C-alpha cells in the first residue's frame, strides 16, 4: 500500500513537473500584432509578417536594445491574418501563403508552404553574435546558418564575374567593387527568396552542411523570407518589399554610342551627325569625364574645359538631330570644386583613396602631385542636397537627358582597414559600406523627381544595392576586359543580377580595356581579332536592357570599322536594325516589369523545369519569347588571351600584348551548339524551322547572325525601320505568330516619356493565339493617352518555314487587319 502511494505520488510530481514545463513553454512567447516575440538561445527573437507571403526575422542578444531602420525596405508591415498554434516545443505561425515554425528549444526557424512542403530551415544553433568594436561603438559581427536541400539551386546576390550561374558551393565576399555589384538577395528553385538586410562587408558561403551569411557589423540579425512559388514570384516579393521599377523612356531602349572620351563639343556632336548622315539608327550619345577640365576640378558638374565652349548649344544640337545626351557624373570631388569647398567644412567628405590618384593625367599616377579627390557622404541628406544643387544648376538646367553615375560603388584604392573606421552620417563606413550606390543613386533620383515629372529619370550606374530598382537606374557591369572570357562571364553576371530583383543591366559592348588588340593595327578597329569579338559582343548587347557601345583604347563608332558593303560594317548595321525592329516587344516587356514585376533577361531555369538548364550560363530568354544563344567563342580568329583588370588596364604598355593575326574575310559559315529547353517547341528566328525542345543541336552561324529561337505559342510585334526610337508611329506593325501552343502578348504604348502613365495615360492591346482553332484574337484596346493611334494596321504572319523570317520588310502577310480599338479575330 505504501509503495503504491509512493508510486502514485511520484507520478503526480512528474505530471506536475511536466505540466509546469509545458506551461512555461506555453508562456515562452508573446503574440504581437505582426507575429510573435520570444527569447531563444540567449537571444531576443521577433517574427513579423509584412504580408501573407513575406516574413521578417529579427534577432539580437537578449536584453540589448537596438534601433534598425532599413535603407532598402520601403514597405510597411501590412495587417496580415495569421494563426498561432503550439505543439510541444514548436510554435507555428500560419498566414494564407506561408507557415513559419519556431522551435522554442533549439531556436531554429523553419519555413513551409501552406500545403506543408518544406522550403528552408535555419540550422540548429545557427545564429551567432560575436563582440565587435566598430570604430569605438560596441556592436557585433553576425552570422546565420541555413540548411539547403541537396538538389535545390540558388541564384542572385548581385553581379559576380565568376562565369557561373548557380551559387551552390560558392564563397562570395561581398564588398562593392568596380566589376562586382553585390545585392544580398537570393532566390531558390524551391520557390522562395531570402533577403539579408545588412550593409557591411558580408560573406556568403555554401557548404555541404550549411549555407551562411556572415557580416562584419550588425546590431541585429535581420532578414526577410518570402514565398513566391517560383523565381518570378520571389522577385515580385522582393520588389514589393523594396520598391517597384518605374518605366524608362522609350528612347533609352535604342542604340547608344560612347567611348572614353569625346574630347570636344565638336567631336561629340559630330558623332551624332555622322550617324544621321550614314542612316544608321542612334538614340543616344554619352559624354565621359573631364569636360570639367583638370583633375583638381574633378566632377565640378560644369563645362570648364575650353573644348566645350557652348554647352547649351551642344545639347540643343544633339536634340535637334533627335538624339539624347547623358553625361558622366561621379561620387567624388576635386579640391578646387565648389562642391568640395562647401562639403568639406561640414564633414561631408570621406577621406580615402579614390580615382583619380594624381592631379596629372599620367600612368602610373604621379603620387608627388596627389589629386586630393575625395568621395562624398551620400548617407547624409544634406550632402545629397548639395550634390543635386550643383547638378541641377550646372547640367540639368541645360536639358541633359540623364546621368552616367560612374564609380558609384565608389572606387576604393590603396585600401587600409582604418578606412572603414571613417565616420559617415549613419555610423562607420564599415557599417554601411555596401549601400553606398543605393544612397547616391537614390539622392539624384529623388531630387530630380521632385524637380520635374516631365522627363523620366534615367541613370546609368556602375554599382547597385538592394532596392535600387525603384530609382530609375540601369547598372552596367563595370570596366570589364576586352576578351572572350570576359564576354562569357557577362551572361551569368547579368542573369544573377536580374534575379536579384533589379531588372535593368548592360555592359560595355566590346569590353572596356581593348589596348591589347592595337599592336600593328593602328587604332585596332581593323584587327580581325577585335572585330570578331566586338561584333559578337554587340549581338549579345542587342538582347540586353540597354544596347550601349563603349570602351577605351579602340574607338567604337561604326564608321571606324569600314563602310557599307563591307562584312563587319554590315553586321553591325544588321544588329542595330534588329534591335530597333524589336522595340515594340522590348517596350512592352518593360511595362511587364513595371506592372507585373517581371524580368527582361531571364535565366532559362525561370521558365523551364529542365535539369539541363539549372546551371546554364551561355543562353537565356530575352522577354518571355526569344531564346538568345550568343556566340561566345572565337570562330574566325585565335582567341587572344588578354589579361588586364580595372586597375592595370590603364597601363598602355598592354597595347603590346596582342599578337598580329592574318587578314580574315569572315565569309565562311561556322557552327555552334545550342540547347533548346524541354517543355516547348522552338522556331529558328532566321529560318522558321520548327524544332522540338529537350535537345542540343548544331546551329550554322555567320558573322552577322547569332542563334535566336522563338518559343512556340509566342506573338511578337515588329516595328518599322527607323533612325531613332520615336521617328515613326507604330501604326503599321508586323505581328508574327509562332504556332504550336496557345499564346498571349500585350502590346503597351504611352507618351514615351514623362510620368503620365502613373495617372493611367497609357493603352494596352492583348493578342491571343488559340492553337486548336488557329485563331488570333486582337482584344479590345484598354486605356488611352494623348497622341494615341486611333486607327492602325496589323500585318499578320503565321511563322512557317521560309516565311516571315529574320528581319522585317516582307509583304508576304497572311492577313492584314484594320484595327480601331475594337476586338477582332482572324483565322490563320
Catalytic residues: 406, 409, 479
Backbone angle region of 677, left / alpha / beta, with phi > 0 → left and psi within -120 to 50 → alpha: beta
Phi and psi torsions of 96, nearest 5°: -75, -10
- Crossing angle of helices 528-541/567-581, nearest 10°? 10
Phi and psi torsions of 222, nearest 5°: -140, 110
Residue labelled with grid coordinates 493603352: 763
> CA 249 to CA 458: how far, in whole Å?
8
Q: Are 492 and 604 in contact (CB under 8 A)?
A: no
Query: Who contacts 1 (Cβ-Cβ below 8 Å, separation ≥6)?
Result: none
Q: Are 436 and 332 in contact (CB under 8 A)?
A: no
Rounded to whole angstroms, the maximal C-alpha distance in the chain is 113
The candidate with the shortest Cα–Cα distance to 222, out of 66, 32, 80, 95, is 66
Residues paired with residue 761 on neighbouring β-strands, in sequence order: 784
Q: In whole angstroms, what separates CA 803 from the centre of its chain?
A: 36
The candidate with the shortest Cα–Cα distance to 159, out of 469, 480, 490, is 490
Q: Length of the chain, please?
A: 828
- Crossing angle of helices 381-394/436-451, nearest 10°? 50
How would you list the strands of the sheet with 715-718, edge to edge?
A: 715-718, 732-737, 792-798, 815-819
> CA 209 to CA 654: how far, in whole Å?
44
The terminus-to-terminus CA distance of the chain in angstroms comes to 95
> CA 668 to CA 652: how far, in whole Å?
34
| 205 sits in which H/E element | strand 202-206
User: Which three three-digit cell numbers place residue 202?
Assistant: 558580408
Integer Rg of the chain from CA: 29
The candidate with the shortest Cα–Cα distance to 158, out of 204, 116, 104, 226, is 204
User: Which three three-digit cell numbers place residue 26?
Assistant: 506555453
Amino acid at each position: 500500500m505504501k509503495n503504491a502511494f509512493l508510486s502514485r505520488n511520484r507520478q503526480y510530481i512528474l505530471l506536475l513537473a511536466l505540466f509546469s514545463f509545458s506551461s512555461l513553454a506555453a508562456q515562452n512567447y508573446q503574440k504581437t500584432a505582426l507575429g510573435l516575440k520570444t527569447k531563444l538561445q540567449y537571444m531576443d527573437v521577433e517574427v513579423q509578417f509584412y504580408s501573407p507571403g513575406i516574413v521578417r526575422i529579427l534577432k539580437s542578444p537578449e536584453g540589448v536594445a537596438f534601433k534598425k531602420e532599413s535603407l532598402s525596405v520601403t514597405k510597411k508591415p501590412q495587417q496580415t491574418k495569421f494563426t498561432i498554434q503550439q505543439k510541444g516545443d514548436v510554435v507555428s505561425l500560419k498566414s494564407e501563403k506561408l507557415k513559419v515554425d519556431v522551435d522554442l528549444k533549439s531556436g531554429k526557424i523553419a519555413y513551409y508552404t501552406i500545403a506543408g512542403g518544406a522550403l528552408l530551415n535555419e540550422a540548429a544553433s545557427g545564429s551567432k553574435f560575436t563582440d565587435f568594436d566598430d570604430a569605438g561603438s560596441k556592436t557585433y559581427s553576425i552570422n546565420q546558418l541555413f540548411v539547403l536541400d541537396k538538389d535545390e539551386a540558388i541564384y542572385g546576390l548581385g553581379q559576380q564575374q565568376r562565369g557561373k550561374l548557380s551559387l551552390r558551393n560558392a564563397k562570395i565576399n561581398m564588398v562593392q567593387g568596380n566589376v562586382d555589384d553585390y545585392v544580398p538577395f537570393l532566390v531558390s528553385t524551391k520557390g522562395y527568396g531570402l533577403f539579408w538586410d545588412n550593409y557591411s562587408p558580408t560573406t556568403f558561403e555554401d557548404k555541404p552542411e550549411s549555407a551562411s551569411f556572415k557580416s562584419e557589423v550588425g546590431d541585429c540579425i535581420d532578414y526577410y523570407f518570402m514565398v513566391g512559388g517560383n523565381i518570378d514570384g520571389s522577385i515580385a516579393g522582393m520588389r514589393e518589399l523594396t520598391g517597384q521599377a518605374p518605366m524608362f523612356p522609350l528612347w533609352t531602349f535604342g542604340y547608344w554610342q560612347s567611348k572614353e572620351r569625346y574630347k570636344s563639343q565638336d567631336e561629340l556632336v559630330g558623332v551624332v551627325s555622322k550617324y544621321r548622315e550614314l542612316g544608321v539608327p542612334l538614340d543616344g550619345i554619352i559624354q565621359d569625364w573631364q569636360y570639367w577640365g583638370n583633375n583638381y576640378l574633378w566632377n565640378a558638374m560644369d563645362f570648364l574645359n575650353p573644348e566645350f565652349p557652348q554647352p547649351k548649344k551642344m545639347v540643343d544640337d544633339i536634340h535637334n538631330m533627335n538624339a539624347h545626351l547623358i553625361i558622366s557624373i561621379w561620387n567624388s570631388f576635386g579640391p578646387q570644386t565648389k562642391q568640395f569647398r562647401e562639403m568639406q567644412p561640414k564633414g561631408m567628405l570621406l577621406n580615402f583613396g579614390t580615382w583619380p590618384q594624381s592631379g596629372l593625367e599620367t600612368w602610373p599616377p604621379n603620387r608627388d602631385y596627389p589629386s586630393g579627390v575625395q568621395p562624398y557622404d551620400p548617407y547624409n541628406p544634406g550632402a545629397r542636397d548639395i550634390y543635386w544643387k550643383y547638378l541641377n544648376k550646372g547640367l540639368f538646367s541645360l536639358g541633359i537627358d540623364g546621368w552616367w553615375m560612374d564609380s558609384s560603388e565608389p572606387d576604393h584604392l590603396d585600401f587600409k582597414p582604418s578606412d572603414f573606421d571613417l565616420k559617415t552620417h549613419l555610423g562607420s563606413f564599415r557599417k554601411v559600406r555596401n549601400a553606398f550606390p543605393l544612397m547616391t543613386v537614390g539622392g539624384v533620383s529623388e531630387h530630380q523627381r521632385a524637380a520635374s515629372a516631365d522627363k523620366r529619370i534615367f541613370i546609368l550606374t556602375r554599382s547597385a544595392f538592394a532596392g535600387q530598382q525603384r530609382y530609375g537606374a540601369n547598372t552596367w557591369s563595370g570596366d570589364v576586359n576586352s576578351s572572350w572570357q570576359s564576354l562569357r562571364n557577362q551572361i551569368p553576371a547579368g542573369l544573377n543580377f536580374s534575379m536579384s530583383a533589379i531588372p535593368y543591366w548592360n555592359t560595355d559592348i566590346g569590353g572596356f580595356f581593348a589596348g591589347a588588340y592595337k599592336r600593328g593595327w593602328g587604332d585596332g578597329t581593323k584587327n580581325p581579332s577585335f572585330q570578331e569579338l566586338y561584333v559578337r559582343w554587340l549581338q549579345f548587347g542587342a538582347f540586353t536592357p540597354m544596347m550601349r557601345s563603349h570602351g577605351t583604347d579602340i574607338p567604337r563608332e561604326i564608321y571606324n570599322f569600314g563602310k557599307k558593303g563591307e562584312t563587319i560594317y554590315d553586321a553591325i548595321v544588321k544588329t542595330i536594325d534588329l534591335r530597333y525592329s524589336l522595340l515594340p516587344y522590348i517596350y512592352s516587356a518593360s511595362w511587364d516589369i513595371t506592372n507585373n514585376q517581371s524580368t527582361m533577361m531571364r535565366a532559362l531555369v525561370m521558365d523551364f523545369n529542365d535539369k539541363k538548364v539549372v546551371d546554364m550560363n551561355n543562353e537565356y530568354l530575352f522577354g518571355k519569347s526569344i531564346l538568345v544563344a550568343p556566340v561566345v567563342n572565337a570562330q574566325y580568329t585565335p582567341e587572344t588571351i588578354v589579361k588586364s583588370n580595372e586597375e592595370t588596364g590603364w597601363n598602355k604598355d598592354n597595347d603590346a600584348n596582342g599578337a598580329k593575326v592574318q587578314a580574315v574575310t569572315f565569309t565562311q559559315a561556322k557552327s555552334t551548339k545550342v540547347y533548346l529547353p524541354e517543355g516547348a517547341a522552338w522556331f529558328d528566328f532566321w529560318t522558321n524551322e520548327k524544332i522540338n525542345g529537350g535537345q542540343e543541336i548544331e546551329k550554322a552561324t555567320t558573322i552577322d547572325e547569332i542563334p535566336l529561337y522563338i518559343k512556340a505559342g509566342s506573338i511578337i510585334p515588329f516595328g518599322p525601320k527607323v533612325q531613332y526610337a520615336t521617328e515613326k508611329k507604330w501604326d503599321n506593325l508586323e505581328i508574327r505568330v509562332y504556332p504550336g501552343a496557345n499564346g498571349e502578348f500585350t502590346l503597351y504604348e504611352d507618351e514615351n516619356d514623362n510620368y503620365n502613365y502613373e495617372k493611367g495615360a497609357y493603352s494596352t492591346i492583348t493578342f491571343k493565339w488559340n492553337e486548336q482553332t488557329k485563331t488570333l484574337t486582337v482584344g479590345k484596346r484598354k486605356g488611352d493617352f494623348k497622341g494615341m493611334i486611333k486607327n492602325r494596321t496589323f500585318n499578320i504572319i503565321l511563322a512557317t518555314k521560309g516565311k516571315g523570317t529574320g528581319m522585317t520588310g516582307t509583304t508576304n502577310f497572311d492577313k492584314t487587319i484594320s484595327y480601331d480599338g475594337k476586338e477582332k479575330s482572324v483565322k490563320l
